[in-house]
Structure 1
């Protein structure tokens, strides 16, 4: 009798507990694409270290969040505003900005950008 009772309880619990269905992301349904400029102050340098996060995976050992020009060389910026102007020339617009001050020497500035996707960009669905 106990086994039957435990079996029924287990079946009921399994039926009630269900995992969420994973939704496939589709760029065709998106209107905007977002990115984030990360600007860190550098010790003994007036130029900041600029990285751009497009939402792709990166590792600590290989940080590929720097921008590359047509020849594959890293684009260097004089300031955060220089990086914002560069991104604006490609249709990106500033949404929000915030800063994190970790110490007197270490400051980070974050700029959230967006741009409207074109029909061609929606068709090249990178998520699927």
Structure 2
């Protein structure tokens, strides 16, 4: 009986020790109206460090890399609500030179791990980084495949490529 009780208590302590408490994280969405359009361009800021040129790559894009246009700030908020973001606060800044309103909305989300922060959200910079990684993987894959081909066959392949190029040059 004592062993069972001790085992149960230890199991509960282990579970309690490994359970992570959610913590609140924030992001800001910045909406600017498009010229001659009722649509809004949304930039998203997770508090990350960006370079001078990198700040222009914080617009949200879809899986194909095309910039997502929202009908309004509320439309953008509804989109982000799918990923558990909650509205906290909003304010508007008017650019004196262009007389354009820039909308700032502060959002929050309860997370357990940092992987959950960007869940479902892709910025232009993220998309470019993913494309670059895919291209590097392809290049590395081609090098690995090339290395698997025996040396004498690689030389044969290169010679036949040269012959094909020379042949194409002289064809009408």
TM exceeds 0.5? Answer: yes
Report the CA distance between 1:55 and its aligned residue: 1.1
Q: Alignment RMSD, CA only?
A: 2.5
Structure 1's 68 and 41: CA in aligned 2 closer, same or farther, altered over 3 A? closer
Structure 1's 105 and 113: CA in aligned 2 closer, same or farther, altered over 3 A? same
Task: Name whichever structure is richer in helix by fraction.
Answer: 2
Q: Residue 115 of structure 1 aligns with which residue?
A: 109
Report the CA distance between 1:106 and its aligned residue: 1.1
Report the CA distance between 1:123 and its aligned residue: 8.0
Report the CA distance between 1:117 and its aligned residue: 0.5
Q: Residue 74 of structure 2 aligns with which residue?
A: 81
Structure 2: gaps (5+ residues): 1-19, 117-172
Report the CA distance between 1:75 and its aligned residue: 2.4
* Greater gyration radius: 2
TM-score by length of 2: 0.48
Q: Residue 24 of structure 2 aligns with which residue?
A: 32
Q: Which has the higher contact order (CA 8 A, sep 6+)?
A: 1
Q: Residue 59 of structure 2 aligns with which residue?
A: 66
Aligned length, in residue pairs: 95
